[in-house]
Amino acid sequence: MKKKQIAILGSTGSIGTQALQVIEEHPDLYEAYALTANNRVELLIEQARRFQPEAVVIANEAHYATLKAALADLPIKVYAGTDALCQIVESQPIDVVLTAMVGYAGLRPTMNAIRAGKAIALANKETLVVAGELINELARQYHTPILPVDSEHSAIFQCLEPGNALSKVILTASGGPFRQLSREELAHVTKVQALKHPTWSMGAKITIDSASMMNKGFEVIEAKWLFGVQPEQIEVVVHPQSVIHSMVEFEDGAVKAQLGVPDMRLPIQYAFSYPRRLPLSGGRLDFMKCRELTFEAPDLQRFRNLALAYEALHQGGNLPCIVNAANEVVVAAFLADRISFLGMSDIIEQAMQRIPFVAQPTYEDYVATDAETRQKAAEWIR
Ligand code: NAD
Ligand code: MG
């Protein structure tokens, strides 16, 4: 059988490196065709030597010479720049594109991959947050499947029953490291505290998003576009043990959940192997060790980002794009100690109120909204 050819956008990140572990577990089924990264050129070189892909792309062109020289003895094509990154996904042999890069930068390569008819294993939730309607329309037009990698959405996907409508989806949230802090305490939390997530080890941006609940807000928006549900059909339940990865409720009231140890390799692998399941090494759920599964409502007063995301989803148009762009700016500022934890939501709210609303945005509108929001948000932080 022909091996599935996989392109990993963001192979040096948390999702990217775990995807390579999945490929390594099933060398008879999967092959890394293309690996891409932004700045971590040394790790990309190491991965290229080990997995011998057809091509590598470094988005930051400043690293091109280093990458090219380090791989000179191998028949690997070496490219640099975002245009090259957007083009590589169109390569004929590629079957699946795993979008494991972070942020808005994932939008254009994802659109190209869809147009080229590649199955999308979607980790880059920002793409659906920014332009969910456009992405769905493209996927329909080009008959391209979009398979969720986000653990909650993979869980929901694993619970679906063809032909049976959902009455709601229930996204579980760990609550992050600040679940029990008061607003006064939240005002003083630092990035070091925010970067310590209780259950998952992830890239810096999504770790801050998890602490601020923006990640859950984005997942609500992501769920709408992946599963065709309305905002009122998407419920968030805080479940600190992270054993239930999410649930669905059907019209007869039956609820199905997917459970397991927290391990992103499972949703990554399932997106590669769907509809089959494959063996996977690693821990197994031991119910004797998790006697207590608890649930609580999210606090929208303390975690305003979640309320802002619901608001953006209700109003639609370019508002989710505004929220995403403002969030990328404030998270970078928080990581640079230039804004407080609660200050992040203030800027996002300001952007929602002040950036012009576009009810039915085109791709060009998204590009313009993203650029304008970034510029304004950066000014407001100064
Ligand atoms: P990360 O920061 O660990 O890795 C990001 C990767 O993208 C790196 O390889 C980096 O080189 C590349 N990259 C970053 N900016 C880029 C740019 N402008 N152009 C090209 N490449 C760029 O991030 P991560 O935690 O692996 O998350 C990746 C995506 O997956 C995010 O959208 C995140 O929300 C989503 N996700 C992650 C997890 C997780 O467990 N880490 C879970 C669910 C969803
Ligand atoms: Mg998630």
DSSP 76: -
pLDDT at 197: 80
Q: How confident is the model at residue 200 (pLDDT cuts 50, 70, 90)?
A: confident
Token pair recorded at residue 100 = 């494991």
Mean pLDDT over 259-268 rounds to 97
Contact 97, 7 (CB under 8 A): yes
Instruction: Round the average pLDDT of the chain to a whole number and report it.
Output: 97
CA gap 46, 71 in Å, rounded: 10
Q: Which of 8, 9, 14 to mutate to test the pocket of ligand 1 (most atoms within 8 A of CB)?
A: 14
pTM of the model: 0.98
Q: Which of 340, 79, 350 is nearest to 188 (CA)?
A: 340
pLDDT at 201: 84
Tens of pLDDT, residues 276-335: 999 999 999 999 998 899 999 999 999 999 999 999 999 999 999 999 999 999 999 999
- Give per-residue burial for 30-43: e unless 16+ CB within 10 Å, then b: bbbbbbbbbebbeb
Contact 255, 249 (CB under 8 A): yes
Q: Is residue 144 classed as helix, strand or coil in its secondary structure?
A: coil
Which residue CA neighbors atom 16 of ligand 1 most closely? 38
Distances (CA, A) of 82 to 60, 92, 105, 183, 261: 8, 19, 9, 40, 36
Place of tokens 């050129």: 41
CA of 151 to the centre of ligand 2 (A): 5
Which residues contact ligand 1 via a Cβ below 6 A? 10-16, 37-40, 59, 85, 100-102, 105, 123-126, 150, 200, 202-203, 205-206, 264
CA gap 363, 177 in Å, rounded: 36
Q: How confident is the model at residue 356 (pLDDT cuts 50, 70, 90)?
A: very high
Whether 199 has a pLDDT exceeding 90, the answer reads no
Q: How confident is the model at residue 150 (pLDDT cuts 50, 70, 90)?
A: very high
pLDDT at 382: 85
Q: Which of 79, 134, 137, 85 is nearest to 113 (CA)?
A: 85
Counting residues of the chain whose pLDDT is more than 70, the rounded percentage is: 100
Tens of pLDDT, residues 159-189: 999 999 999 999 999 999 999 999 999 999 9
pLDDT at 377: 98
* Ligand of minimum distance to the alpha carbon of 57: 1
